[in-house]
Amino acid sequence: MACNTNASATALTCCSDKTFVQDKVCTPWSGTVVTLATDVLLTVFTNNINQNIVGTGYLQYDVGPADITFDLLNSAGAPMITPITISPGSSLSFTYRRFGSIRLTLPGATLGTYQGEFCITTRYPVQ
């Protein structure tokens, strides 16, 4: 148990310890734009664990014909951040909490195959 002492009181108050789980997942991602003017939406992570999740990781964008965007969505599917643009041959590291999914947008203006790697370490409390 974790305990706190109040300086103005002599009583000691305790609360139960929380147990956290930590998992790491790395996976390659790939997508192909085959129709002009139609963006390809690629979900690389979906939170089906716990609303109080914290995720730390990176998105590596190895090869592709154009820039892509990285977006963080809440559990209702609405954007939580301004989408981040990533160029071929670069990467992005992140730490976010209380999100529903992570999505990439491959631009419909540029045909071709896009590839990279996604890695995330999630932490969440277990009741």
The reply to whether 2 falls in a domain is no
**Distance separating alpha carbons of residues 51 and 65, to the nearest angstrom:** 36
The reply to whether 6 falls in a domain is no
The reply to whether 7 falls in a domain is no
Strand ranges, E, within the chain: 2-5, 12-15, 19-33, 40-46, 54-63, 68-73, 84-86, 90-97, 101-106, 112-126
Per the structure, the complete domain to which residue 75 belongs is given by 19-126
Domain count, the chain: 1
The reply to whether 1 falls in a domain is no
pTM, two decimals, is 0.82
The reply to whether 101 falls in a domain is yes
The reply to whether 60 falls in a domain is yes
Q: Which residues contact 67 (CB under 8 A, 6 or more apart)?
A: 85, 86, 87, 88, 107
**Distance separating alpha carbons of residues 84 and 88, to the nearest angstrom:** 13
The reply to whether 4 falls in a domain is no
* Residue 110 · residue 65 · CB < 8 Å: yes
Phi, psi of 87 (to 5 degrees): -95, 155
The reply to whether 5 falls in a domain is no
What does the mean pLDDT of the chain come to?
89
Bigger pLDDT: 8 vs 87: 87
pLDDT at residue number 127: 67
pLDDT digits (tens, 9 = 90+) for 76-90: 999 999 999 999 999
Map residue 21 onto helix, strand or coil: strand
pLDDT at residue number 21: 79
pLDDT at residue number 8: 56
CATH of the domain at 92: 2.60.120
